Chain A
Amino acid sequence: MMNNLVDVQGLTVVRGGTEVLHDLDFSVAAGEVTGLLGPSGGGKTTLLRALVGVQRITAGSVQVLGEPAGSASLRSRIGYVTQQASVYDDLTVAENLRFFARVLGVGDSRVEETVRLVALGENRDQIVRTLSGGQRSRVSLAVALLGEPRLLVLDEPTVGLDPVLREELWQTFHSLANAGAAVLVSSHVMDEAARCDRLMLMRAGRIIADDTPQRLRERTGTTDIEHAFLALVRAEEAA
C-alpha cells in the first residue's frame, strides 16, 4: 500500500531568471510531522508553495494525494498557512472563519471547533486588526484547519508566539498527523526541530539532509540541530 501523501521528483523552480530549487526528490508520508529547516532565502517558501500548487514549477513533478499539485480536486484537501496572516483585517475572527467555511463548504460548527483549537475563544468577536501579531497568525492557521486537510503546509507558523502557545500548537500538529494527515512545517528556528518526526535541512535550494532529529545528531556527532546543520554545511563545502 502506498501511503505517501506527497511525491516530489526532480522539482526545479526558476524565479526571475534564477534557479531557486535544484532538482529536488522526496516524499512525505501520512502521519508524520516534517520540519523544513534552513536559513531565510534558502527556498523553503518556494518549495511549500510548489506543494500547495500556487508556485509555477519549471521542471519535475509534484504529486499530492496521487494528483498533480494544484489540481482542482485538491483545493479542499490542503491547508496552507503563509508567513503573512492571509485574513481580512476589518472582519472579526468569527466572520473570517465563517466566510472561509462557506467557501470550503464546511458547516459553522467547524468554525467554533477551530476557534477553540487555536485558543481564540475569547477573541472570537474581535476585529482582526486589533489582535496581536501572534493572534492574527492563529486566525490564519484556524482558516487552514477549517477543512480538516489531509495535507497541512505551514510556513513559519510559530513566529512571534509565546512558548506555552507554541507548545500547544505543536501538540495540535501532532494530533493532526496522528489522525492521518501529513504536516509540513517550515522554520528558521532550529530549536523547533526536535519537535518534528523528521527533518529536511534546506540550504540554497537543495535538501542537504533528510532524517530524524535523533539520527541527524548522531550522524554529525552533535548535541543539537543547530550544530548538526553547521556540521553538514561545512562537510558539504569541504566536498
Chain B
Amino acid sequence: MNALLSPRATAAVTTRVLTQLRRDHRTLAMLMVLPVALLALLWWMFDAVPGDGFSRLGPALLALIPFTVMFLVTSVTTLRERTSGTLERLLAMPMGKLDFLMGYAIAFGLVAAVQSALAVGVSLWLFDLTIVGNAWLLMVVAVLDAILGTALGLFVSAFARTEFQAVQFMPALVFPQILLCGLFIARDAMPGALGAVSDVLPLSYGVDAMQGVASSAGAGAVWHDAAVVAAYAVAVLALGALTLRRQSD
C-alpha cells in the first residue's frame, strides 16, 4: 500500500508552487520588500520618541507579517486549485493528501525563511533592534508562524467559493488574533474572558515567542511558545486534510 507520505510527490508540489511563485515577479517582490518597508515605517514612527519603542513592537511585527502574508497567499492559491479542477485531478492521481499539504507547507515555509531572514537582518543591523536571545530563534519562530498561516489559509479556502470571499477571511480570522495577541494591551491585563480567548489563539504564542527572544525570557519559555505554534500548525493542517475530498456529490 501507499506510504503515508511520498517524498517524490511532496517535492513535486513544493517545486511546482515555487516555480509558480518565481513566475509572479510582482508577488515575489512584495513578499520580500513589504515586511522590510513596514518595519522601516515602525522604526521611523518611533524615531523622535524617547525610549526604545521599536525594540518593543518590532518582534511582534516579525511574527505578524509572515503569518498574515502566508495566510493570504495560501488561501488564494489553494482556492485556485480547488476551482480550476487541478486539485480534483491531483486527488484522482496517486497523490496523498499529506503530500499535497506538506508540499505547500514546505514551499511557503521556505519563502517565509527568506522573507524573515531579510526582515530580521534589516531590523538588527539597520534599525538596531536590540534582542537578548539568539537571532536564529527569531527566524525559526517566523517560519513556524508562516506555516501556521499557510495551514489556516489552506483550511479556510475550503469555505470560500471565490477569491473575494477567501480574502474576507482575513478580517474574520486574522484581525482578532492581532488585536488579542498582546500587542496593544498585555494579555494578562485584558478582561478575563478576552484573556482566555487570547490564550487559545495561536498567534498569541507566536508573538510571545518573538518577544521572549527579544527580551530576557529563557530559551525554554521561547521553545515552549514555539512548540504551541507548531502544534497548532499541525492540527490545522490535519483539519485542512479533512477538506481535501477525493469524492464529491
Across the interface, name the chain B residue whose C-beta is closest to A101.
B12
Beta-carbon contacts under 8 Å, B63-112 to A: 84-86, 88-95
Are A103's CB and B86's CB within 8 A?
no
- Chain B residues lying within 8 Å of A105, measured Cβ to Cβ, are 8, 94
- Chain A residues lying within 8 Å of B86, measured Cβ to Cβ, are 86-88
Say yes or no for B20: interface residue by CB 8 A criterion: yes
**Which of B178-186, B189-197, B211-219, B241-249 forms part of the interface with chain A?**
B241-249
Total count of chain B residues near the partner, CB < 8 A = 27
Are A90's CB and B23's CB within 8 A?
yes
Are B16's CB and A91's CB within 8 A?
yes
- Chain B residues lying within 8 Å of A88, measured Cβ to Cβ, are 16, 20, 84, 86
- Chain B residues lying within 8 Å of A9, measured Cβ to Cβ, are none
- Chain B residues lying within 8 Å of A56, measured Cβ to Cβ, are 247-249
Are B24's CB and A72's CB within 8 A?
no
Say yes or no for B227: interface residue by CB 8 A criterion: no
Q: Shortest distance in angstroms between A105's beta carbon and chain B's nearest beta carbon?
A: 7
Q: How many angstroms from the CA of A89 to the CA of B36 in the assembled complex?
A: 30
Are A75's CB and B20's CB within 8 A?
no
- Chain A residues lying within 8 Å of B94, measured Cβ to Cβ, are 72, 75-76, 103-105
**With A91-B19, A103-B12, A105-B94: A70-B246 Cβ-Cβ less than 8 Å:** yes
Across the interface, name the chain B residue whose C-beta is closest to A99.
B16
Are B19's CB and A54's CB within 8 A?
no
Say yes or no for B130: interface residue by CB 8 A criterion: no
Say yes or no for A52: interface residue by CB 8 A criterion: yes
- Chain B residues lying within 8 Å of A103, measured Cβ to Cβ, are 9, 12, 90, 93-95
Beta-carbon contacts under 8 Å, A60-85 to B: 70, 72, 75-76, 78, 80, 82, 84
- Which secondary structure dominates where chain B touches chain A? helix
Are A84's CB and B84's CB within 8 A?
yes
Q: Shortest distance in angstroms between B29's beta carbon and chain A's nearest beta carbon?
A: 16
Q: How many angstroms from the CA of A102 to the CA of B1 in the assembled complex?
A: 18
Most chain-A Cβ atoms within 10 A of its Cβ — which of B12, B90, B91?
B12
Fill in one digit per residue for B212-248: 1 if any A CB lies within 8 Å of its CB, else 0.
0000000000000000000000000000000000111
- Chain B residues lying within 8 Å of A75, measured Cβ to Cβ, are 92-95
- Chain B residues lying within 8 Å of A78, measured Cβ to Cβ, are 92
Are A91's CB and B23's CB within 8 A?
yes
Say yes or no for A55: interface residue by CB 8 A criterion: yes
Contact of A72 among B2, B15, B19, B88 (CB under 8 A): B2
Fill in one digit per residue for A152-193: 1 if any B CB lies within 8 Å of its CB, else 0.
000000000000000000000000000000000000000000
Say yes or no for A143: interface residue by CB 8 A criterion: yes
Fill in one digit per residue for B1-31: 1 if any A CB lies within 8 Å of its CB, else 0.
1100000110110011001100110000000
Are B247's CB and A127's CB within 8 A?
no
- Chain A residues lying within 8 Å of B249, measured Cβ to Cβ, are 15-16, 55-56
**With A72-B1, A90-B23: A100-B93 Cβ-Cβ less than 8 Å:** yes
Say yes or no for A148: interface residue by CB 8 A criterion: no
Q: How many angstroms from the CA of A78 to the CA of B93 in the assembled complex?
A: 8
Across the interface, name the chain A residue whose C-beta is closest to B24.
A90
Q: How many angstroms from the CA of A100 to the CA of B8 in the assembled complex?
A: 11
Across the interface, name the chain B residue whose C-beta is closest to A80.
B92
Q: How many angstroms from the CA of A105 to the CA of B8 in the assembled complex?
A: 8
* Given A52-B92, A54-B88, A102-B9, 19 additional A-B pairs, CB 8 A: A54-B91, A54-B92, A54-B246, A54-B248, A55-B247, A72-B94, A75-B95, A76-B93, A76-B94, A82-B89, A84-B85, A88-B20, A88-B84, A90-B20, A95-B16, A99-B15, A102-B12, A103-B9, A127-B23
A-B residue pairs in contact (CB < 8 Å), sample of 26 = A53-B247, A54-B92, A54-B247, A54-B248, A56-B247, A56-B248, A75-B92, A75-B93, A75-B95, A80-B89, A82-B89, A86-B84, A87-B86, A88-B16, A88-B86, A91-B20, A95-B19, A102-B15, A103-B90, A103-B93, A103-B94, A104-B94, A105-B8, A105-B94, A127-B23, A143-B89
Closest 6 CB pairs between A and B?
A86-B85, A102-B12, A86-B89, A99-B16, A75-B94, A56-B247
Query: Which A positions have Cβ atoms within 8 angstroms of B?
Result: 15-16, 52-56, 70, 72, 75-76, 78, 80, 82, 84, 86-91, 95, 99-100, 102-105, 127, 143
